[in-house]
Amino acid sequence: MLLVNTSGGPGWLAGLLAASITAPHLLGPFVARRLDTAEDGRTVIAWSAVIHALTLAGAVLLFPFTPALVPAVLLIASGLVGPMLTGGISSRLPRIAGPELAQQRRAQGWDVATYGIGGTVGPSVVAAISAWASPTVAALTLAAGALMAAAFIRLLPYQPREFAATDVPRPARTLALMLRSARLRRTLYLTVVVALSVAVLPITAVNSASMLNVDAASAALLTAAYGLGSLTGSFGVMVRPLRGSADRLMTRLAALIVVALAAVMLAPSFPIAAITYVVAGTLNSYFFAATLAARSEYSPRSARAQVFVWVGALKITAGSAGTALAGALVGIDPVLPLVAGAVVTAAAVLVSAAERRIDPGVGEAAQS
């Protein structure tokens, strides 16, 4: 988006190219099956990193010289392999960490921390390099980082294939399996709803200046407060891993996120608002760790990678929908996106609690 804006391109083109790299994540589950069937999953993930790097670099370099369709197609290809670099890597944690639940939960804490650091450091690096050189150099730096990641992925422990290709369900069957499984179903809809809800926070932060009697730049600091909370939560989970049933933890943490959204709405001053944003970011990191634990512990081993990618892909899609919803509602009233997020999350929490009483999912485990 910086590249388009600094070159004088229209806003709609910046949005189109941004969507070109994010929207294809929804198709990730249809390529993720390869992770469960490959002889060496590291090779699949490493090649995904290479493809991501080359297509991103190609799109950036060709943008000034070709019609917009060319970089858009390259960005679509880049986004298509994106889920391999998120859910694909996360799906390998259980066997890397070992069989002990405490070890796996600690590894998931580290995993959450990488998302928090990446989400904070990445934009900062882009902003710094863009100011020092140009957005083109910033994007090429990110592409170079992805190439380096491909080499590091090969250093992960080798995990031999456990199942024949005929025993690994196809994407549609995996989704059906997730919907039939009580625990995975709750994991799916709670993840989607919470992602949609917290995605409204950055938009609300920027537009809350008049309510908090501060200027727009100060209001934008609330987004940084949310990022700080995310990092704090990430390190908190890493130092003290979550304990107890991941299923129950997701419901309880989602309920606490509803409380945090309400606190953001009711914050009477800027300092208190900043604290509520920090708390919301912290709780979201803990919730994310709980969803990683649920995906790991309740997924059938023959489709674990696909489950990780399905949930991750729908989470990204929900986050984009939440941003769009916030953009549509914030012009009416800056509080409306928060109200909408709190209401839908509260409804999901109630459904989850009621459903667990009826169908607790006892007996569903990763070994199934």
Give the lowest-confidence range in 101-105, 161-165, 166-170, 274-278: 161-165
CA atoms 128, 134, 136, 140: torsion sign? negative
Supply the pLDDT for residue 173.
87
Average pLDDT over residues 304-313: 86
Q: For the chain, how many structural domains are there in total?
A: 1
The pLDDT of residue 366 is above 60: no
Comparison of pLDDT for 260 and 239, the residue scoring more = 260
Does residue 62 belong to any structural domain of this protein?
A: yes
CATH no. for residue 311?
Answer: 1.20.1250.20
Reported as a single tens digit per residue, the pLDDT across 324-341 is 788 888 778 888 989 999
Banded pLDDT at 314 (limits 50, 70, 90)? confident
The predicted pLDDT at position 217 comes to 64
Average pLDDT over residues 51-77: 93
Whether residue 175 is contained in a domain is answered as: yes
Residue 305, domain member (yes or no): yes
Residue 276 covered by a domain: yes
pLDDT at 351 over 70: yes
pLDDT top residue among 366 and 69:
69
Q: Which of 138, 12, 21, 28 is closest to 71 using CA atoms? A: 21
Model confidence band, residue 186 (pLDDT cutoffs 50, 70, 90): very high
pLDDT tens digits along 7-28:
888 877 877 888 888 888 888 7
Could you tell me if residue 365 is inside a domain? no
| 275 belongs to a structural domain | yes
Contacts of 75 (CB under 8 A, 6+ apart): 17, 20, 21, 55, 56, 59
pLDDT of residue 207: 76
Question: CA neighbours within 13 Å on the CB side: how many for 161?
Answer: 17
Confidence class for position 112, pLDDT limits 50, 70, 90: confident
Stretch 77-101: mean pLDDT: 83
How does residue 344 score in pLDDT terms, banded at 50, 70 and 90? very high
Annotate 244-258 with DSSP letters as a single string: S-HHHHHHHHHHHHH
Mean pLDDT across the stretch 222-237?
86
pLDDT number for residue 130: 84
**Residue 363 pLDDT > 60:** no
As a whole number of Å, the end-to-end CA separation of the chain is 45
Above pLDDT 70, what percent of the chain? 95
Residue 203 has pLDDT above 90, yes or no: no
- Please, what is the average pLDDT of the chain? 85
pLDDT band at 188 (very low <50, low <70, confident <90, very high): very high
| Distance from C-alpha of 59 to C-alpha of 56, rounded to nearest angstrom | 5
Is the per-residue pLDDT at 362 higher than 60? Answer: no
What pLDDT band is residue 321 in, cutting at 50, 70 and 90?
Answer: confident
Q: Where residue 228 falls among pLDDT bands split at 50, 70, 90?
A: confident
DSSP-assigned letter for residue 177? H
Instruction: Domain of residue 169: give its range.
Output: 2-358
For tokens 């189109």, name the residue. 16
- The token duo for 25 is 């994540």
Question: If DSSP states are collapsed to H, E and C, what string results for 298-364?
Answer: HCCHHHHHHHHHHHHHHHHHHHHHHHHHHHHHCCCCCCHHHHHHHHHHHHHHHHHHHHHHHCCCCCC
pTM: 0.83
User: Residue 368's pLDDT is what?
Assistant: 42
- Higher local confidence (pLDDT), 365 or 192: 192
In a domain, 363, yes or no: no
Quickly count: other Cβ atoms within 10 Å of residue 109's Cβ.
Answer: 24
Residue 275 makes CB contacts below 8 A (sequence gap 6+) with: 225, 267
pLDDT given at position 361: 62
d(CA 27, CA 21): 12
Rg (Cα) of the chain, in Å, rounded?
20
Q: What value does the mean pLDDT take over residues 297-301?
A: 85
- For residues 57-86, give the mean pLDDT: 91
* pLDDT at residue 287, rounded to an integer: 95
Q: How confident is the model at residue 216 (pLDDT cuts 50, 70, 90)?
A: low
Please indicate, yes or no, if residue 368 is contained in any of the structural domains.
no
